[in-house]
Structure 1
Amino acid sequence: MTTTGHAAARSGGWRREGADLVRGASGGLLFGVPLLYTMEVWWYGSWVHPRWVLGALAISFLVVVALNRTSGFRDTRASGWRDAAADGVEMVAMALICAAAVLILLRQITVTTSLAEAIGTTVFEAIPFAFGAALSRQLLRHVEGEDADDDGGGDLADDVGVEDPAISRTLADAGAAAVGALVLAFSIAPTDEIPDIADSVTAPWLLLIVGASLLISYAIVFAAGFRDQAGRQEHEGLFQRPFAETVAAYVISLAVAALMLLFFQRIGPDQSWETWMTYTIVLGLPATIGGAAGRLAV
């Protein structure tokens, strides 16, 4: 596609631009959220020299521009280096905003955090976000015609051994959400970041984390334009509606998060239910993102 064609695609209105940005942000979250639960990155960003912060940002920008030539976050691939660079600026800015928002949500950036510390931490946390955004179309691209080829869950019925397509689709989605949640929760549950974050959040902040988890899950599966987005809403199933499926998948992800915390003895019978709830909701954010990625795979 020529530069003019790419510009025309980009000028398709706010709706297309919004869908592209949601796709990029979703890819960034899928790729970058594990590093947001890494204490060493918080500390490193807080003391590293500003020149190294600028250098890291510049290097990540160059990598993102190169990735845009083969992938990117738009439906149309960048046809020239100018388009790739323009998209790269947008991706890095989006990654910085998303990383800062999640760090604020996790109380790792507060009103008492110095500007230099906040910038350093945000930049180093934003780098994997930017890479994920640049790879989002390649990793989870929407394949033209797959909605028409989709049979509404017939093949899944054979996989799970259930003849009823509604039940088979529900079981398949539930299993995929659980497996995806397990992948991320298993690697984060034993770390010290969970109690560290949990100790810094209050009840209203927990509600914000719950709301953000639901919103991110919905955006990844139903708003980002990844695989079979339209087809998912047509499948037969007990929870095959965006709101119901998002809530059900979140409950499954919370259950997986709680099981992982129990497995690694982060919570136990000697702790209060408030501790159980706080730890589970904090771990539930990455678990929910993993669950969303799992549902995209079925």
Structure 2
Amino acid sequence: MKTTNKHPHQWQTELSDLIRGASGGFLFGVPLLYTMEVWWIGSSAQMIRLLMALVLTFAIVFMLNRTAGFRQTNDIYAIDAAIDSVEAMAIGLVCAGLMLMLIQEITLQTPLNEAIGKVIYVSTPFTLGVALANQFLSGQEDEAPNNDDPNQPTFNATFSDIGSTLIGAIIIAFNIAPTDEIPMIAAAASGLWLLAVMVASLLVSYAIVFAAGFTNQQKRQQQQGLFQNPYSETLISYVFSVLAACMMLVFFDKLRWQDPWHLWLSYSIILGLPATIGGAAGRLAI
């Protein structure tokens, strides 16, 4: 059972659990976020369907939490699983709501019932990602590399990072690139909104790789390479993810050479969000 008076270490553990859960939510939930059919279904769904969606999501997450959820704990009592399921759903709903606001599918002009419907429908994969975060993405740390060796192949480590970033970016963003959602979102995005998308992409990428406590986090923090500290790696990987997004848009003829530069920039940044999350997942795998 959780208490209200927590030791600082408990608060740190709680924060780590929340970051891990949110990171898992982003990994699983972002592809569905870029699906206009889900926006439309959510905005027109009746309350009974929304309640059924919440109940079904809770049931699935509860079963997952009975085995292993997003917390690093062995407590699997029904009451603990129920509490963690409610918290997982809350994390999923908050993450989905924030992302819908970021891509301006929810604004101050959006009717409340439409906003609630969109958040509930989009939050389902986010919530499942929260519940699966510890079960599938956590694990024993591999032995950290020895950084004292001056002959460590830093170029190999750098190219490995770039390659895994590009592979992960393509896996996540390739199915999104040919859709009409990217132009729709970009059409409503101002310069400040694009900056917000860039900042969110960097923060989520950093959290997934370096703050969530997933497999190989310690190894990644000590790995050799030209850009191998958490901040520079996050920045360089973001640049390559955006470039990969741009190339995918060209591949699917969503961008043409005669298009103005601001169109190239806005489309690439918008698709760069899921591409960056995919790139972070790719770097976790190496």
What are the within-5 Å matches in structure 2 for residues 74-223 of structure 1?
A: 74-143=71-140, 146-147=141-142, 149-151=143-145, 164-223=152-211
Between the aligned partners of 1:272 and 1:77, the Cα distance in structure 2 is: 55
State the distance in 1 between where 2:146 and 2:268 align. Answer: 33
1:236 Cα deviation (Å)?
A: 1.2
Offset at residue 76 of structure 1 (A): 1.1
Please list every run of 5 or more consecutive structure 2 residues that lacks an aligned counterpart in the other structure: none
Alignment length (residue pairs): 280
* Pairwise CA distance, 1:77: 3.3
Q: Which residue does the alignment assign to 1:248?
A: 236
Counterpart contact for 1:182–1:287, Cα < 8 Å: yes
2:246 aligned to 232, 241, 258, which one?
Answer: 258
The one-character-per-residue Cα deviations of 1:259-291 (angstroms, maximum 9, x if unpaired) are 000000001112100000000000000000000
Distance 2:26 2:146 in 1: 28
In the other structure, the counterpart of 1:24 is 21
Cα distance between partner residues in 2 of 1:52 and 1:294? 36
CA distance in 1, matches of 2:146, 2:116: 47
1:169 aligned partner, one-letter code: A
Q: In 1, are the aligned partners of 2:157 and 2:223 still within 8 Å (CA)?
A: yes
Please state if 1:49 is matched with 2:46.
yes
Q: SS at 1:233's partner residue?
A: helix
**Structure 1 CA distance for aligned equivalents of residues 49 and 85 of structure 2:** 20
Bigger mean CA deviation after superposition, 69-78 or 204-213? 69-78
Aligned position for 2:267: 279
Q: How far does residue 152 in structure 1 lie from its aligned partner after superposition?
A: 5.2
The answer (yes or no) to whether the contact 2:139–2:214 under 8 Å persists in 1 is yes
Relative to the length of structure 1, the TM-score reads: 0.91
Partner of 1:159: none
Residues 152 and 257 of structure 1: CA distance in aligned 2, closer, same or farther (over 3 Å)? farther
Cα RMSD for the two superposed structures: 1.6
Separation in structure 1 between the aligned mates of residue 25 and residue 91 of structure 2, nearest angstrom: 9
Structure 2 distance, partners of 1:164, 1:225, is: 25
Distance 2:78 2:21 in 1: 19
How far off is 1:52 after superposition? 0.7
Unaligned runs of 5+ in 1: 154-162
TM-score by length of 2: 0.94
Give the share of equivalent positions with the same residue, in percent: 50
Measure the CA separation in 1 of the matches of 2:181 and 2:64: 31
Amino acid across the alignment from 2:252: F
